[in-house]
């Protein structure tokens, strides 16, 4: 069985484009977005890693640190990064893990042999400051990720950690939120103000402010 939500994210030591890191120490106290890609010098991956670099201010605003992985070497990563920067008009500053022995990919279940080879698929792990896995996504190699969606998920996780609320379908930051069944309507009114009761089990309130 692979990693499940609430599991402690496996720790590891690996070589990266930013030098050797010990994962839990590197992310210490921060959220992390660990994402794998199949290979360097490939088209979809070039667009993805560039997009993550373009979003550096968005990650920082959320206290999150992105880190990428593939089964290629640090030397290959370093040769590839200038292409990513050029194509996407950005600068890759976050680490890219080298995992030629597939140790980290194995720990995180990133290798899916039925996808055609033994390179890593497009896995995403959002890991909280306590090193717990909070969200996982897996895309096939042919489909590029939507990092706006990953930011949206991070916003929702951080909001629902701060407040006793849930987020509805297609929720975005600033939208109203749902009162969970464990909170009474009276308690919700006392805490959040006006409650829109669509059904006894479906009640909306304005999103709590940061």
Q: Any idea what the CATH number is for the domain that residue 52 is in?
A: 3.40.30.10
- pLDDT tens string 138-183: 988 888 999 999 999 999 999 999 998 999 999 999 999 999 999 9
Q: What percent of the chain has pLDDT over 90?
A: 82
Catalytic annotation, pick one of 33, 34, 45, 67 = 45
Query: What pairs with residue 125 in β-bridges?
Result: 34, 136
Assigned token pair, 111: 């290798």
Instruction: For residue 208, give the DSSP letter.
Output: P
| pLDDT the model gives residue 210 | 65
Range of the domain at 43: 13-145
pTM: 0.93
Euclidean distance between CA atoms 92 and 108, whole angstroms: 23
Short-list 36, 6, 22, CA closest to 133? 6
Nearest Cα residue to 173 out of 160, 155, 157: 155
Are 107 and 172 found together in one domain? no
Q: Are residues 93 and 190 in the same domain?
A: no
**What is the chain's Cα-based Rg?**
19
Same domain? 108 vs 55 = yes
Residue 99, pLDDT score: 94
Output the average pLDDT for the chain: 93
- Paired residues of 68 in beta bridges: 35, 96
Instruction: Say if residue 43 is in the same domain as residue 106.
Output: yes
Establish if 150 belongs to a structural domain: no
CATH assignment of the domain containing 181: 3.30.1020.10
* CA dist 62 → 4, 58, 80 (Å): 23, 7, 28
How many other CB atoms sit within 10 Å of the CB of residue 37?
27
Number of domains observed in the structure of the chain: 2
Residues with Cβ within 8 Å of 101's Cβ and at least 6 positions away in sequence, in order, are: none
Which of 5-9, 113-117, 122-126 has the least mean pLDDT? 113-117
Q: What is the pLDDT of residue 1?
A: 57
Strands 177-178, 202-205: pairing kind? antiparallel
Q: What are the residue ranges of helices labelled H in the chain?
A: 23-27, 43-54, 56-61, 74-88, 103-107, 147-162, 185-192
Residue 45 appears among annotated catalytic residues: yes
């Amino acid at each position: 069985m692979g990693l499940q939500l609430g599991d402690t994210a496996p720790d590891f030591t690996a070589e990266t484009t930013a030098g050797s890191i010990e994962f839990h120490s590197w992310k210490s106290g921060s959220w992390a977005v660990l994402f794998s890609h199949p290979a360097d010098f490939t088209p979809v991956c070039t667009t993805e890693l560039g997009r993550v670099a373009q979003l550096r201010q968005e990650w920082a605003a959320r206290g999150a640190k992105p880190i990428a992985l593939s089964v290629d070497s640090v030397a290959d990563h370093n040769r590839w990064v200038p292409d990513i920067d050029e194509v996407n008009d950005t600068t890759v500053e976050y680490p890219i893990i080298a995992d030629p022995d597939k140790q980290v990919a194995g720990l995180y279940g990133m290798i899916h042999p039925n996808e055609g080879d033994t390179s890593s698929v497009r896995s995403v792990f959002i890991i909280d400051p306590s090193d717990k896995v909070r969200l996982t996504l897996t895309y096939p190699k042919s489909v590029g990720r939507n990092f706006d969606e990953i930011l949206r998920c991070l916003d929702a996780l951080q909001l629902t950690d701060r407040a006793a609320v849930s987020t509805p379908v297609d929720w975005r930051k600033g939208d109203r939120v749902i009162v969970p069944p464990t909170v009474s309507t009276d308690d919700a009114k006392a805490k959040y103000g006006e409650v829109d009761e669509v059904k006894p089990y479906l009640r909306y309130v304005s999103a709590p402010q940061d």
